[in-house]
Structure 1
Amino acid sequence: MGFVGTVLGIFGFGFGITAGLVIGYYFFIYIQPSDVADPEIRPLVEEDQETLQKMLPEIPFWVKNPDYDRLDWLNKFLEYMWPNLNKAICATVKGIVKPIIDEQIPQYKIDAVEFEALTLGSLPPTFQGMKIYVTEEKELIMEPSIKWAANANVTIAVKAYGLKATAQVVDLQVFALPRITLKPLVPSFPCFANIFVSLMDKPYVDFGLKVVGIDLMSVPILYRFVQEIIKDQVANMYHWPKTLEVQILDPAKAFDRPVGLLHVKVIRALKLQKKDLLGASDPYVKIKLTDSKLPSKQTTVKMKNLNPEWNEDFNFTVKDPLTQILKLHVIDWEQIGKHDKMGMNEVPLKDLTPDEPKLMTLALVKKKDTNDAQNDKSRGQLVVELTYKPFKEEELPKTFQQTKTLLVRAPDNTPDGGGMLVVIVHEAEDVEGKHHNNPYVRILFRGEKRKTKKIRKTRDPRWEEEFTFMLDEPPINDKIHLEVYSSSSRIGLRRPKGP
């Protein structure tokens, strides 16, 4: 029976396969379904958004929404730059996070928290598209669609009580739609003062978290819990209209506005060198503040005097007291020929205490280089009194509209009604003249003359230059005279145009 059963089984298996193939082939060839309708062909543009999402789940924003522009060039840029950007970003993160960790760990009785590994991987984020908003304000609004499936590796080691535990973040994925606003736009690099970031929707964040070699995210309940916690926390902090604000430039520096006044009183000079043939000199002092577009100022000339007294006052507008330097040059006046330099010295404004007059006796030197052998020779001394008066907090510009004001109040102790007049020369259009294409502007006010730089080969120049005039009284009956000049490109020709 066993042998017969085996033979019959083999025979039945072979017969069943053969019969199944023949019958199936017959049905496939000769039997046609009768209830199948002709397929309906519709263009993709007629489908709704939900249907398109099901058909093409990874379709980029620039295809789905015509308001979004392609950013293939930016993705290619990131691809080439990512190895260096990866290192730079990781180094910056370490520099920011380490002091914070060192400050916080003592209260938790932790010995150390260190990065064992920190890399964002070899895969850069990709921009699926970007939308730009055009507004009437001085701002730039961008909405990029960002997707990042990174092979990052962030390993943190925690040491406490002689033990060590590690936590590793791997397989990071981030999908986000942020709104990035750069405002206000300013004429100083990088051309915007603040960055505002907010999220237009809850971000998608996924990652693996390994603690002591065990992936905690493999636990379904814990995985969903962590996902929702991250989404809700991020959304609560930065979901529009809430924003993350990052200040790039100080408002006063951003708009290139003065932050104070420097009062310089040139009192006297002592034991100056003899420069004239008759054994005397005709000295005057030339004063210049660095990083200022204003021309230098100078005292009157004291004829045939090696110990002159001036007692003359000068005011300068200060834009950055930490970097600006006051330069003082004592010069011998000559009626014919070049004036002779007698000595100089410099005073950094950061050495001055605000609102406190500082009497200084400066030794005159040939050059500011302390190692120069020519400085060993005595050239006399210059006595000056310097006072830096910063503007009050309420006087500083805080918004773009406030920076448009042309009159800035002077600090206390200035003459009644006095202050500072700020004139900003922006641009000109369609400057006349057949051969005149290098325009500049001359400004005349109360006998003082100022001049902008030349803009070459244009009839629509843009200067964006600022000029200040110190006033002892309000300019009620004064007028500012403006003249647009243009030097011809032809050699030897210079034809001014009227205001």
Structure 2
Amino acid sequence: MGFWSTLLGALGFSIGIPIGLLAGYFFFIYRRPADVKDPYIKPVHQMDSTLMKSLLPFMPFWVKNPDYDRVDWLNMFIRDIWPYLDKAICNIIRSTVRPIFDEYVGKFHVESIKFDQLTLGTLPPTIHGIKVYDTNEKVLVFEPAIRWAGNPNITVALKASCLRVTTQLIDMQIFVAPRITLKPLVPSFPCFASIIGTLMEKPHIDFGLKVMGGDIMAIPRFYRFIQEMIKDQIASLYLWPKILEIPILDISSVAIKKPIGILHVKVVRAVNLRKMDILGKSDPYVKMRLSGESLPAKKTTVKMCNLNPVWNEQFRLIVKDLKCQVLELHVFDWEKVGFHDKLGMQVVPLSLLVPNEKREFTLDLLKSLNPNDPHNKRNRGQITLELNFVPFKNDNLQFSLSIEEDKNENGLVGRDTKVASTGGLLSVWVQEAKNVEGKHHTNPYALVIVKGDQKRTKVIKKSRAPNWNEEFQFMLEEAPTRERVHIEVMSRKKGFNFHWKEPLGHVDINLVDVVNNGRINEKYHLINSKNGVIHIEMRWKVI
């Protein structure tokens, strides 16, 4: 009896424990709590401090933080479009996930995997506020506070052999505040080339997950484990400084190309030019420019009465694309009255050049670039020139500073900084001005003066906030460490007027910071202007 009683006791214990655990599991999973009550709603002014403190995390951002703007109009738009957006997103999910499901069909006795139900529910996300950052760069940065307490129903059914397993995702809550950057802003629709997103803090994610009708998220500790694991995985991918970049446009085709180097052109000579004047020889000169540039063409001097002129004149042109740009050459016969006669033309692709290597070209002049033009068979002479492309240095020149302490006129100890000098290109972008106003008229334009070289923007009529967005370039023989750029905003009015021109303000900017840093992008208060501000960006490229 002792043996049989022991055996039966052990057998009952081994069978009873699994049955008890299984029964307890299903009772815990499927049991619905009976103590759930409807929330008691009362006005905010009737709440005590303890209740208010517990509600703070759930208040909209625009209530707690004045930097966030209220966007009820956007929430109304999302609410109205949500039924259609729900179907569109679900269709994208189906088409994206279908190839993944198909990979597992036929493996591990899996017969099929499909969606039984796929809907994001009837409750759309809500934006609790948007914070927009004001930057000087050509980007748009904003942080929307997004909360979604949705009622989705996503059911995936897996059929393997005679077993059918269903997994259902319900009652999802997502609280997230991403930082979204649209950059760079370009003049092509949709006006930005890429979308960059990042998370400034870990998101809050909560959801219900049912397997075979049982809510497995109700298992003690399992719910917290899954929630923290998902947060950590998302944070490892997208938490700042990690980003998610979505390209929208091809940046190489829409972005404004920046200078990459200087083309040194030496126009040496021309021979056997055509005689265009009846009573004398031709008076030739050469005009040159790079394709795709709107800058005025460079011109040589005029050689009077000469069919074999020798110029030996040097010019410098700014190159933005070595592979695509060409040097266009036009030889004209100067006329004192009327149009100048065209003696010939030719082009030189910059792709033929090797950086920092001088190359000489002797080219036959043509009537036009059309290979089928019969006039090209006539002899129009030849032109000889030397080309050398010098690219800008990738990194800013690191100036070696030799500090010598000495006493100045006041007897104080000072420092004399000697900077190695080298030539380069100074680019000045005059972007916009605000709060400029004249006494008699406000038609503002800007003058940019560097070492006596003066350039000006277009005139914006009747505007206190003109947006010029114009770039000017200055070739300098040495680094302008002791120079200033003088920018003056003026207003002019056409017609007879005693006050046809008046100043609206000016600013002088030291260029040493541009040389040392390579770039500055700042807003400056205009001198002699009450509230005027001008936005200037400058770059320095070293040859």
Aligning the two structures, in what range does the TM-score lie when normalised by the shorter sequence? 0.5 to 0.7
Partner residue, 2:309 = 308
Identity of aligned residues (%): 36
2:145–2:178 CA contact under 8 A, matched in 1: no
Shift of 1:308: 3.0
Q: 1:228 to 1:444 in 2, by over 3 A?
A: closer
Gaps of 5+ in 2: 1-39, 104-113, 157-166, 399-419, 507-543
2:450–2:474 CA contact under 8 A, matched in 1: no
Partner residue, 2:178 = 179
Partner residue, 2:127 = 128
1:188–1:255 CA contact under 8 A, matched in 2: no
Q: 1:344 to 1:235 in 2, by over 3 A?
A: same
TM-score by length of 2: 0.54
- 2:443 aligned counterpart, secondary structure: strand
1:130–1:142 CA contact under 8 A, matched in 2: no
- 1:287 aligned counterpart, secondary structure: strand
CA distance in 2, matches of 1:318, 1:85: 50
Q: Is residue 441 from structure 1 mapped to residue 440 from structure 2 by the alignment?
A: no
Shift of 1:464: 4.3
Partner residue, 1:296 = 297
Deviations 1:111-148 (A, max 9, x none): xxxxx99x998999734223316578767653323356
1:53–1:59 CA contact under 8 A, matched in 2: no
CA distance in 1, matches of 2:280, 2:168: 82
Q: Is residue 233 from structure 1 mapped to residue 233 from structure 2 by the alignment?
A: yes
CA distance in 2, matches of 1:349, 1:124: 60
Partner residue, 2:473 = 468
1:364–1:380 CA contact under 8 A, matched in 2: yes
- 2:231 aligned counterpart, secondary structure: helix
CA distance in 1, matches of 2:168, 2:321: 44
Shift of 1:84: 9.8
| 1:86-105 equivalences in 2 (<5 Å) | none
Partner residue, 2:459 = 454
CA distance in 1, matches of 2:345, 2:80: 51
| 1:210-359 equivalences in 2 (<5 Å) | 228-240=228-240, 242-244=241-243, 246=245, 258-278=259-279, 280-290=281-291, 292=293, 294-321=295-322, 324-350=325-351, 352-359=353-360
- 2:233 aligned counterpart, secondary structure: helix
CA distance in 1, matches of 2:475, 2:208: 62
Shift of 1:220: 7.8
CA distance in 2, matches of 1:172, 1:41: 22
Shift of 1:455: 1.8
Deviations 1:238-288 (A, max 9, x none): 335x4316498999x989753322222223334444332246322222222
Deviations 1:182-201 (A, max 9, x none): 49988988589994512423
CA distance in 1, matches of 2:141, 2:59: 24
> Number of residue pairs matched?
409
- 2:230 aligned counterpart, secondary structure: helix
Q: 1:128 to 1:435 in 2, by over 3 A?
A: closer
Q: 1:245 to 1:228 in 2, by over 3 A?
A: closer
CA distance in 1, matches of 2:208, 2:295: 57
| 1:382-393 equivalences in 2 (<5 Å) | 382-393=383-394
Q: 1:282 to 1:478 in 2, by over 3 A?
A: farther
Aligned-residue CA RMSD (Å): 5.9
1:366–1:375 CA contact under 8 A, matched in 2: yes
CA distance in 2, matches of 1:423, 1:444: 10
1:282–1:333 CA contact under 8 A, matched in 2: yes
Shift of 1:305: 3.1
Partner residue, 1:405 = none
Deviations 1:383-414 (A, max 9, x none): 333333222221299xxxxxxxxxxxxxxxxx
Q: 1:365 to 1:122 in 2, by over 3 A?
A: farther
Shift of 1:204: 1.9
CA distance in 1, matches of 2:362, 2:153: 61
Query: In structure 2, what residue type is equivalent to 1:234?
Result: I
CA distance in 2, matches of 1:344, 1:152: 71
Shift of 1:488: 2.0
Query: In structure 2, what residue type is equivalent to 1:454?
Result: V
Shift of 1:52: 7.8
CA distance in 2, matches of 1:153, 1:367: 68
TM-score by length of 1: 0.58
Deviations 1:338-384 (A, max 9, x none): 2233333444545543333343444544455x466466454444433
CA distance in 2, matches of 1:120, 1:396: 59
CA distance in 2, matches of 1:382, 1:360: 8
Partner residue, 1:161 = none
Q: 1:170 to 1:261 in 2, by over 3 A?
A: farther
CA distance in 2, matches of 1:81, 1:345: 59
Q: Is residue 395 from structure 1 mapped to residue 400 from structure 2 by the alignment?
A: no
Q: 1:477 to 1:229 in 2, by over 3 A?
A: closer
